[in-house]
Amino acid sequence: MIEIRLHGRGGQGTVTAAELIAEAAFQDGKFSQAFPSFGIERRGAPVEAFARISDKPITLHSKIYEPDYLIIQDSTLINLDLVRQGVGPKTFIIINTEKSAADFKKIFEKNTIQTIPATQIALAILGKPIINTILLGAFAGVCGLLNPASLTSAISARFKKEIAEKNIKAMNTAYCHCSSNSEYCFTAEKCTIAVDGGQKFSVTC
């Protein structure tokens, strides 16, 4: 079983991102589960959401304390105890940021880190800073367990056609940035992310 914990801020679609990951896994023929950290909703406040993926039915209904994947939607949350709790050397960390993975090595010394400029991708493709489908793509890209077609059907099941199309493009962009699945990425409709000289990313469509 793979356990995923997401941290974001109220209004960022943290819960939606968890649901999309689990939905994509379900579309992929796996067992999955997603749930929010049941708080009192406030825009901007730190929020958590959880997802599990397994080959067997999932009976467990507790929160996730030692995640296999930690997804951080807002890098200003990194110093919270809540975010760092239970992060072991094997936890794979995905961070929405323009910075590079090396910039976070001091904080997460032993971990594999994947950074993704999700907000920039969202602004370039969706015109709004809504990043949940982009994080879905990034997660699927690094974990390599889910077929991109399942991600596409999860997005199509959730959004209306026009919005779904843009989100699939955004998801593909993130997926192909993080994945080595060159066969899919050769034909997938996507934008490209370039690092311009220093540390800054730019997204071109």
Contacts with another protein by CB under 8 A lie at 19, 22-23, 26-27, 31-36, 38, 40, 58-63, 65
Smallest separation (angstroms) from another protein to the CB of 36: 6
| Contact (CB, 8 A) for 167 and 146 | no
Closer to another protein by Cβ: residue 157 or 195: 157
Closer to another protein by Cβ: residue 20 or 116: 20
Smallest separation (angstroms) from another protein to the CB of 6: 13
Smallest separation (angstroms) from another protein to the CB of 155: 13
Q: How do 201-204 and 192-195 pair as beta strands?
A: antiparallel
Closer to another protein by Cβ: residue 60 or 194: 60
| Contact (CB, 8 A) for 18 and 70 | no
Smallest separation (angstroms) from another protein to the CB of 188: 24
Closer to another protein by Cβ: residue 37 or 120: 37
185 C-beta neighbours (distance < 10 Å), count: 17
| Contact (CB, 8 A) for 9 and 74 | yes
Q: Which candidate, 83, 77, 71, 79, places its Cα nearest to that of 19? A: 71
